[in-house]
Structure 1
Amino acid sequence: MSIRRRLMTRFIGMLAGAVVLIILLGSAATYWVVQKVNEVSLVDDFATSGLDQLINTAEIMPDGTVRYDPRLLKQVEKNQGWLQVVDEKGYVIDDFNTPDDVPKQYKPGELIAYWEAKKPFPYQIVMLIREKNGEMFTLLYGERNQTKSLLDQAREDSHYTDGELMLRPKQEDAIRSKGAYLQILDAYGQELASYNKPAMGVPNSYNIQELALRIRYPNRYGISIATFYDEQNGTTWMLSIPVDPTATGDENPYNFILTPVLIVLILSVVILLILLALWYANRFGSPMLHMLQWLQRLEQGHYEEPKGIGGIPRSQRRNGKWKRKYHVYAEVLRSMQALSATLKQDEELRKQTEALREEWIAGITHDLKTPLSSIQGYAHMLEAQKYSWSAEEVREFAGIMLDKSMYMDRLVNDLAMTYRLRSGGYQPPVEETDVNTLLHDLVQRAERNPVYGEGRIVFRPAKVPVYGHVHIPSFERIVDNLTANALLHNPAESTLTVSVHPGKQKGEFSVHFADDGQGMDPELVWRLFERYYRGTDTGTSDVGSGLGMAVTKGLIEAMQGRIEVQSTSGEGTVIRLIWDGQSEHG
């Protein structure tokens, strides 16, 4: 998987995880809110919400009794209510907290009269009918309406006329004993008269909405209200009994639920985002910071990866594997490792090359000064008047000076040739040539060189005609360089075998130079073609410039060929000049 896909996968996974966590937090908060709202509903309006829950959670036992949720039964007791389960014939088959004055059996019309409040009954009844396990389930819930009873008692033989409220002493005592107060309102909700009304905290007028809310939610306002509308004079009798003095009625009853939920939810989301940011910084930012520090170290010339505790690279474990948070950047880290290794190798090679350059320059300078000193010395000798040289001595001196100048010329030409070949500025024209014939002539010419000795070169032509595209002067120089290296740098008894081998296709061939000399070690083979590896032996100035192998490799590659070296110390060396299909790309 590419780094782009890994990063996209990680980012999408992180966002998906954050969304899932936020959804879980929201779901948990919603569940908690629903539970709390249910609790508030049970308190505010148990007859509506509580009875549904009672039936939904009820379990009918084999003996006909009903098992309810204990939490809901506690709320029934708190409301001073009672429960009855009635069968189809009106018989009570199960009850809870039922007072003695509640019937155990109801006639059809009687139960309906109680339910519609058409017949006096000391309790307010709510009836709920549901099907449960294939049976009709009739549940009665009753609450004693103390306020309504007290209002009915206060209205007996009491009246309001001419702006005066007339109550009997017994009725006044009953109102005072309950801490209640009575108000008479006109058709517009303005107070006309009152009894036992507190001096503060009780309104003198009510609109329709406010009066309805106070009657509907007694626990919210802390008072239980009962009303009676007198049609004769258009007044409203309103009796109020305080049930919770701390209730104000101004606050939303759900504030105690929503406020902490919102605070907790917001804090949870903020904490979640902070944790995600820290996780993101550790998972993605830390590796990036590590790579930036690594690049800064590379800029400063330190090519090792920054290490942590114990000298172990920060991106790796002790077993050499990537740490988990670095997996996504594995490709980048491998590239940086390769870059560090390359830069380190290049730096070491640059130092070696610089050292070889200085050594080579010192050698070349010395090699140039040696023949130049000889030329200057012979020139001074010829110039001196105190000497009289014969014609033969003058010719001898001139020959030495010419030999030294030719050596200097070859040295300068070799140096120029290496730079031209390296820059690609030298492209010799090639022509189709009989390789067997060309190599035979060049080997014969080398055999006549007295410096090499007699019988040290063996030529083996190919059994079939071989033609190749070469530049003859460059090819001659290549053969001369390889022959000189093989014969001059090996013992006098060693021999050189030059052989021609045809290729698989037309125009392909190879030439092998195999000697049985002292061979080379691997380091010498690896550095054989470096320009600055060897300085010329000043004691044998006619051997060469020390650039011969670098020139040889450059000329072969300029003719679309390649060179291979195989050498074993103490056994000899084989150098192959190859022209084949791979040579043009090599």
Structure 2
Amino acid sequence: MKHVRRRLVLHFGFQWLGVSMFLLVMSLTVLMLAIQYIANEGLRRTFPNGLLDNLVLEVEEKEGSLFLPKVWEERIDQADGWLQMVDSAGHVVYSYGTPEDLKTAYTPGELYRMEETQKLGEYRIFTALDTFESESLYFILGLDDEGGRRLQRWMDSLQGEEGLLGEEALNRLGQELGASGETLHIMGEDGTVIQSVGGSPGAAAYTPLELLGMRMEPGSYPAESSLRTDPESGNVWILQRTREAGTYESKPFLYDVILGLAVLGAGVFLCTLAFSIWHGYRYGRPLLLFIGWLERMGQGVYHEALTEKDRRHVFHRSGKVRRSFRLYREVIEGFEETAARLSAIEQERDRLEKTREEWMTGISHDLRTPLATIQGYGHLLESGGYEWSGTELSEMGRMIRAKSDYMLELVKDFSFAFELKNQSLPLALEPVELGEFVRRVVLRYVNDRTLQQMSFVYEGMERDPVWIAADPKWCRRMLDNLISNAVKHNPPGTVVTVRTGRSGTEALIEIEDNGSGMDAETRRKLFERYYRGTNTEERSDGAGLGMSIARSIVHALQGSIEVHSIVGEGTRILLRFPSVYGASENKTKAPHRQEDAILMR
């Protein structure tokens, strides 16, 4: 039971630990995905400034050289850009994807102009200054500014009075921009759109922070924008084109958090539902199996713990318990063992009931015969129609007493067998010298004139007394039952030999006869209650309790009994008891091996 309890605790403990770890890992995974999603969204909104910030954080040094993880180099390729890192001396110490026309070193003036104009030649640049390993680095992320170059070209060649487009320029750009789906806005200093050329006219005015947002967080707007300022008129030229990847819808951060939590909750619910179904199926089937067995047991079907169908579910063809039932292996084995015991008990009960019925039939006959004799003599004496002599009356009295004694012995046997069965027999143990005790019992049979047709012999160990702890009254009853059984079931002329001796620390009693012997069935049932043998030709007085009582007394005295018999050759019954030393015995004496050999043959 301890193994089952430990297995259940470990099984369910590890199971719930596994489920908890699974939910924790899944939660962390979802959380990381959410963080990654938010980071990607932030990177897209603030691109290319967000990309540059990540490049500053991800740069590493290995063996004296700077490098970026491959994933960030792929991001630069996707943006169709390039990257340079300049040290405090103005030298480029790292570059990726740089065009051939770029320098490998810059003067302080060149770096300052780059920072002020955010341009390097025809490229639009984004810059950041950071300290890496006590060394200052200047990061330059360059992107191809095709839209800016087009705006500059238009401003130089098509701009008319007051920084606006003339009629001819409007028509020309209208056709070009209309075909490409682009829109050109010329905005005044107050944010009002003065001229609009190309596709959708868009907004009529820009708010003060809108242009800054287009510059700093271009990913937050549905269109890609290029901007140029006319230094003479102060107008701002804005070229907008639709993103190829689709428009972006600005969403609040809280919305993303709520969406992530909803996805996490749905995932946990689905996992919990799946686990509950699996858990119910895994542990519900064994319970249904046990309930079915209990129902069959309630109906009195003890011979099978599992039906044939259940056995196919529980065991493999090889006989091993399936994995889903392995947790309850001891319980299933216990059920099968209980079923086998209950079935054996039921069979034993049926057999005992049959034996009891046979015994009742026999005992009714045994009681009816002496009662009929007593009743007959009673009627004769009661009738008064006869005159009886003293001798006749004495014979009648002797017969009535003998039959009464016989019936009384039967009743005593019933009571004695009941006490032995319920272990309520009081035993007054005392040291008994086995040789003298057994010799006196045998002597009574030798002096019994009614047993002159039988011969009785006693063989003992006079030089080495053997002592046992026994109740003389019940020990005598045990020997009487065994010797009487040999007398009752053997023909006249049989020799009954009783021996005593010692074997090591055991005291031995052997009762042997050279009579009829017993067959295997009789030997097997010899000590069963109510059994009176299978020979229908011999007289079977008694209740069939004598040998059962004898064995019960042997066991009550902590002994054992063995029977050896061959049909036609005789029977030998060997009793073994733990020996003790009497007060008058020399404890240093060794047992005589010759007598031991005789008793153990």
Compute the displacement of 1:11 (Å). 2.7
After superposition, give the CA deviation of every residue in 1:297-322 in whole Å (9 maximum; x if it has no partner).
2333223121344x846432222222
Compute the displacement of 1:459 (Å). 0.3
After superposition, give the CA deviation of every residue in 1:1-54 in whole Å (9 maximum; x if it has no partner).
922332333334434443554466556656766776676566444434546669
* RMSD of equivalent CA atoms: 5.1
Residue type matched to 2:399 in 1? Answer: I
After superposition, give the CA deviation of every residue in 1:479-510 in whole Å (9 maximum; x if it has no partner).
222111012212334322111224756xx633
Flag the 1:194–1:532 CA change in 2: closer, same or farther, 3 A.
Answer: farther
Give the conservation status (yes or no) of the 8 Å contact 2:554–2:560. yes
- The yes-or-no answer on 1:6 pairing with 2:7 is yes
Flag the 1:533–1:124 CA change in 2: closer, same or farther, 3 A.
Answer: same
- The yes-or-no answer on 1:575 pairing with 2:573 is yes
Query: How far apart in 2 are the matches of 1:172 and 1:2?
Result: 94
Residue type matched to 2:10 in 1? Answer: T
Flag the 1:70–1:432 CA change in 2: closer, same or farther, 3 A.
Answer: closer
SS at structure 2 position matched to 1:580: strand
Flag the 1:536–1:16 CA change in 2: closer, same or farther, 3 A.
Answer: closer
Compute the displacement of 1:378 (Å). 2.5
Query: How far apart in 2 are the matches of 1:69 and 1:424?
Result: 91
SS at structure 1 position matched to 2:300: coil
1:222 corresponding residue in structure 2: 222
1:396 corresponding residue in structure 2: 395
Residue type matched to 1:2 in 2? Answer: H
2:339 corresponding residue in structure 1: 340
Query: How far apart in 2 are the matches of 1:407 and 1:343?
Result: 39
Query: How far apart in 2 are the matches of 1:68 and 1:356?
Result: 92
SS at structure 2 position matched to 1:567: strand
Query: How far apart in 2 are the matches of 1:532 and 1:195?
Result: 126
1:446 corresponding residue in structure 2: 445
After superposition, give the CA deviation of every residue in 1:374-399 in whole Å (9 maximum; x if it has no partner).
22122223333554444443333333
Query: How far apart in 2 are the matches of 1:327 and 1:73?
Result: 57
Compute the displacement of 1:58 (Å). 14
5+ residue gaps, structure 2, are 63-69, 581-601
Flag the 1:482–1:272 CA change in 2: closer, same or farther, 3 A.
Answer: same
Query: How far apart in 2 are the matches of 1:38 and 1:28?
Result: 15
Compute the displacement of 1:532 (Å). 2.9
Residue type matched to 1:353 in 2? Answer: L
Flag the 1:103–1:451 CA change in 2: closer, same or farther, 3 A.
Answer: same
1:251 corresponding residue in structure 2: 251
SS at structure 1 position matched to 2:574: strand
Query: How far apart in 1 are the matches of 2:535 and 2:563?
Result: 25
Compute the displacement of 1:241 (Å). 4.4
Flag the 1:150–1:384 CA change in 2: closer, same or farther, 3 A.
Answer: same
1:473 corresponding residue in structure 2: 473
Query: What are the equivalent positions in structure 2 for 1:121-520 lying under 5 Å apart?
Result: 122-126=122-126, 141-144=142-145, 146=147, 150=151, 153=155, 167=164, 169=166, 173=170, 179-182=183-186, 195-196=195-196, 202=203, 206=207, 212-223=212-223, 224=225, 226=227, 240-244=238-242, 247=247, 249-252=249-252, 259=259, 268-303=267-302, 304-309=304-309, 312=311, 314-454=313-453, 456-463=455-462, 464-502=464-502, 509-520=507-518
Compute the displacement of 1:457 (Å). 1.3
Flag the 1:215–1:486 CA change in 2: closer, same or farther, 3 A.
Answer: same
Query: How far apart in 2 are the matches of 1:107 and 1:516?
Result: 131
1:75 corresponding residue in structure 2: 78
- Per mean C-alpha deviation after superposition, the further-off stretch among 534-543 and 362-371 is 534-543
Residue type matched to 1:360 in 2? Answer: W
Query: How far apart in 2 are the matches of 1:171 and 1:112?
Result: 40
Compute the displacement of 1:295 (Å). 3.0
SS at structure 2 position matched to 1:564: strand
- The yes-or-no answer on 1:524 pairing with 2:493 is no
Residue type matched to 1:573 in 2? Answer: T
Give the conservation status (yes or no) of the 8 Å contact 1:147–1:239. no
Query: How far apart in 2 are the matches of 1:29 and 1:282?
Result: 29
Query: How far apart in 1 are the matches of 2:143 and 2:504?
Result: 112
Query: How far apart in 1 are the matches of 2:201 and 2:516?
Result: 124
Compute the displacement of 1:442 (Å). 1.8
Flag the 1:175–1:221 CA change in 2: closer, same or farther, 3 A.
Answer: farther
The TM-score with structure 1 as length reference comes to 0.74
Query: How far apart in 1 are the matches of 2:196 and 2:151?
Result: 14
Residue type matched to 2:559 in 1? Answer: R
The TM-score with structure 2 as length reference comes to 0.72
Compute the displacement of 1:545 (Å). 3.3
Flag the 1:171–1:460 CA change in 2: closer, same or farther, 3 A.
Answer: farther
Flag the 1:518–1:542 CA change in 2: closer, same or farther, 3 A.
Answer: closer
Residue type matched to 1:5 in 2? Answer: R
- Per mean C-alpha deviation after superposition, the further-off stretch among 197-206 and 8-17 is 197-206
Number of residue pairs aligned between Structure 1 and Structure 2 = 548
Compute the displacement of 1:111 (Å). 5.3
Compute the displacement of 1:221 (Å). 1.9
Compute the displacement of 1:199 (Å). 11
SS at structure 1 position matched to 2:428: coil
| Percent of pairs with identical residues | 26
Residue type matched to 1:410 in 2? Answer: E
Query: How far apart in 1 are the matches of 2:340 and 2:266?
Result: 49
Flag the 1:258–1:512 CA change in 2: closer, same or farther, 3 A.
Answer: same
Query: How far apart in 2 are the matches of 1:502 and 1:95?
Result: 107
Flag the 1:573–1:266 CA change in 2: closer, same or farther, 3 A.
Answer: farther
Flag the 1:179–1:542 CA change in 2: closer, same or farther, 3 A.
Answer: closer
Flag the 1:520–1:199 CA change in 2: closer, same or farther, 3 A.
Answer: same
1:552 to 550, 559, 565: 550
SS at structure 1 position matched to 2:117: coil
